[in-house]
């Protein structure tokens, strides 16, 4: 991707910080916008001395400086969101405010800039809900998310697409599988590591353990994001939607075994909560998910790691 002025919302978060790091490596000028609710300054501390980086602590729910930040940018990578799917059962308003309202406010800042922009949005596989077609392609429908998180991301997709059409922006929608790797603070791997540190002899597994999903290493996620962004810019397409994930899947029980092995905990007793609604870990948990990434691969890019490799690398990083 040619050097540009980029804005990264959620740039102090897990995926956002890796994306920001890569953008700087490639010679881009970037503005990181983060309210530090889930992002952490330590994720971007090594980058702060770079003169090509500007950090703006800003809450997209109540933006103050976004108009000027957007005007200074050519590409907006919108990765800010509340990523915890499970809280939708008890705090659905959080997903609305942190995801939908924040996205609307960002789009309004882009509209007020008065100049067409390129928007790259981190969506999610959960927009598909319990897909009956696996691997699930981008054209699958109807989209029936079963979590407020998935619903909020689908709402964001619709808003971004409508603004792209109405105000002549370009939009790249990335439906991400489970992204794992260094700096991750939530999800099944981080959950297992925390639990085994607290009690090395027993591990509670949410659901019945048969849940099976696709996992992708954050290095591959960033690589795919920048590859597809460059492609969108060169092709001048108005809107593109891509699945981003690995070509396979891995079960929760297998992940538990990998974590236990990496932490050198022997004879771990697994206890299963049994789950709800047929073995789900929580309300809104999609039991089986594997995205079709054929469309991505046809562009000439392919993930370096499979699901098990991505999990193993992530476990190694988190255990350290």
* CATH code at position 257: 3.90.25.10
Looking at the structure, do residues 125 and 27 belong to the same domain, yes or no? yes
Query: Residue 70 domain-assigned?
Result: yes
Containing structural domain, residue 269: 181-213+248-289+304-319
* Structural domains in the chain (count): 2
Residues of the chain scoring pLDDT < 50: none
Residue 308, burial from CB neighbour count under 10 angstroms (0-12, 13-18, 19+): middle
Clarify whether residues 17 and 152 are in a common domain. Answer: yes
In a domain, 73, yes or no: yes
**Residue 106: predicted pLDDT:** 98
158 plus 281 within the same structural domain: no
pLDDT of residue 88: 62
Residues 160 and 229 in one domain: yes
Sign of the alpha-carbon torsion through 95, 99, 104, 105: positive
Radius of gyration, alpha carbons of the chain:
19
Please write the tens of the pLDDT for every residue from 160-188.
999 999 999 999 999 999 999 999 988 89
Per the confidence metrics, is the pTM higher than 0.85? yes
Please check whether residues 272 and 285 belong to one and the same domain: yes
Asked if residue 255 and residue 118 are part of one domain, the reply reads: no
Residue 294 lies in a domain: no
173 and 185 inside one domain: no
Q: Is the domain of 123 the same as that of 160?
A: yes
Q: Please check whether residues 108 and 191 belong to one and the same domain.
A: no
Same-domain check for residues 16 and 115: yes
Q: Which residues are catalytic?
A: 149
The reply to whether 221 falls in a domain is yes
Query: Residue 293: what pLDDT?
Result: 98
Neighbours of 249 (CB within 10 A): 23
Residue pLDDT, tens place only, 100-152? 999 999 999 999 999 989 999 999 999 999 999 999 999 999 999 999 999 99
Would you state the pLDDT for residue 80?
Answer: 96
Q: Which pLDDT value is given to residue 207?
A: 87
pLDDT at 94: 86
Same domain flag for 38 and 78 = yes
Look at residue 216 in the predicted model and tell me its pLDDT: 98
Looking at residue 283, its pLDDT comes to 81
Q: Any bridge partners for residue 118, and if so which?
A: 75, 170
**pLDDT at 266 (0 to 100):** 83
Domain presence at residue 299: no
The pLDDT of residue 299: 96
CATH of the domain at 160: 3.40.50.720
């Amino acid at each position: 991707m040619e050097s540009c002025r980029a804005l990264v919302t959620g740039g102090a978060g897990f995926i956002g910080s890796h994306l920001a790091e890569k953008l700087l490596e490639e010679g881009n000028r970037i503005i990181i916008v983060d309210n530090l609710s889930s992002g952490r300054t330590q994720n971007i501390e090594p980058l702060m001395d770079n003169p090509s980086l500007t950090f703006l602590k800003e809450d997209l729910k109540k933006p103050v400086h976004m108009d000027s930040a957007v005007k200074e940018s050519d590409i907006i990578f919108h990765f800010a969101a509340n990523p915890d799917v499970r809280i939708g059962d008890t705090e659905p308003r959080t997903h609305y405010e942190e995801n939908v309202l924040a996205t609307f406010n960002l789009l309004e800042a882009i509209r007020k800039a008065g100049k067409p922009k390129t928007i790259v949005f981190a969506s999610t596989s959960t927009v598909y809900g319990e897909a009956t077609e696996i691997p699930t392609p981008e054209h699958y429908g109807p989209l029936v998310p079963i979590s407020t998180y998935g619903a909020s991301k689908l709402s964001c997709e619709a808003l971004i697409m409508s603004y792209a059409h109405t105000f002549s922006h370009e939009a790249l929608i990335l439906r991400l599988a489970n992204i794992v790797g260094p700096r991750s603070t939530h999800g099944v791997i981080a959950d297992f590591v925390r639990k085994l540190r607290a009690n090395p002899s027993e591990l509670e597994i949410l659901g019945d353990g048969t849940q099976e999903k696709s996992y992708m290493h954050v290095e591959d996620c960033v690589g795919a994001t920048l590859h597809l962004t460059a492609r969108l810019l060169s092709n001048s397409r108005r809107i593109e939607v891509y699945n981003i994930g690995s070509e396979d899947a891995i079960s929760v029980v297998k992940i538990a075994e990998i974590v236990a092995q990496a932490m050198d905990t022997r004879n771990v007793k697994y206890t299963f909560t049994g789950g709800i609604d047929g073995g789900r870990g929580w309300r809104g948990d999609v039991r089986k998910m594997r995205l079709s990434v054929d469309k991505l691969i046809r562009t000439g890019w392919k993930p370096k790691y499979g699901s098990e490799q991505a999990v193993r690398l992530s476990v190694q990083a988190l255990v350290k």
